[in-house]
Amino acid sequence: MRLLSGDEALAQVEAVLETWSRPDEDEEQDVWTSWFADSGDSEDAAMEFLHIWDSIRYLPGLTPLQNAIEMAKTWSFVPSNCPTEGYGRFVSLAGCLQEVMGDRNILLPCHKLAKVLGCKPITISRYCKLAIAAGILKVMAPHTFSCKAGKGTAREFRFDCSKAPCEPAVS
């Protein structure tokens, strides 16, 4: 259901609620009031559901990257020029991560992605360079590192969905 719009998800939830036997035996009472007494009437409940649905970005208990990995099992972002299968999987995962993060920059950690995609971290770096050159990724903030502090910040990106449209993944 996570790929449904709020309206579509609401319709599915209400259809399921309609199949439940109401605890108060009052079939005339709306489904929301029967099961969720604190929700108000069906109009209040529907608007709360829609408001919350649109603010959910990823499944609880998983990191954004883990959520993107799950999403990439059912959806692919396909670049027009895809020289290797691994690059295609990288682009798709980056697109799914952007979907998960919404209107926020994404991070593409080389070591973590290398484990997920079964390649070397340098290959992830090269995928990034290829995607930047293709206009699929735009660098929003550069990588920084301080020798004194011994730490830095990762490079931040934005994924351009117009350069790699989304479609259902092929099983």
Burial class (CB in 10 A: 0-12, 13-18, 19+), 116: middle
123, two tokens: 């290959």
State which of 65-74, 113-122, 160-169 shows the largest mean pLDDT: 113-122
Q: What is the mean pLDDT of residues 139-154?
A: 84
* Amino acid 1: pLDDT: 67
Range from 14-28, 53-67, 129-143 carrying the lowest mean pLDDT: 14-28
Range from 24-38, 65-79, 109-123 carrying the lowest mean pLDDT: 24-38
Of 116, 75, 80, 81, residue with least CA distance to 95: 75
Distance CA 75, CA 170 (A): 8
Burial class (CB in 10 A: 0-12, 13-18, 19+), 67: buried
Residue 155 has pLDDT above 60, yes or no: yes
Residue 24 has pLDDT above 70, yes or no: no
Distance CA 19, CA 150 (A): 59
CB 100 within 8 A of CB 58: yes
Of 22, 15, 14, 20, residue with least CA distance to 46: 14
Residue 29 has pLDDT above 80, yes or no: no
Residue bearing the bigger pLDDT, 97 or 168: 97
Long-range contacts, stretch 111-115, CB < 8 angstroms, 24+ apart? 112/65, 113/65
Percentage of the chain modeled with pLDDT above 90? 42
pLDDT digits (tens, 9 = 90+) for 30-70: 777 777 777 777 888 888 888 888 777 666 778 899 989 98
Distance CA 5, CA 164 (A): 21
* Phi, psi values for residue 2, rounded to 5°: -65, -15
The pTM of the full predicted model, rounded to 2 decimals, is 0.68
User: Residues of CATH 1.10.10 domain(s) within the chain?
Assistant: 64-168
CB 113 within 8 A of CB 72: no
* Amino acid 65: pLDDT: 92
Long-range contacts, stretch 14-22, CB < 8 angstroms, 24+ apart? 14/46
Please identify which residue in the block is written with the tokens 């939830």.
Answer: 13
The three-class DSSP label of residue 95 is helix
Q: What is the third-level CATH fold of 64-168?
A: Arc Repressor Mutant, subunit A (1.10.10)
Q: What is the mean pLDDT of residues 107-132?
A: 96
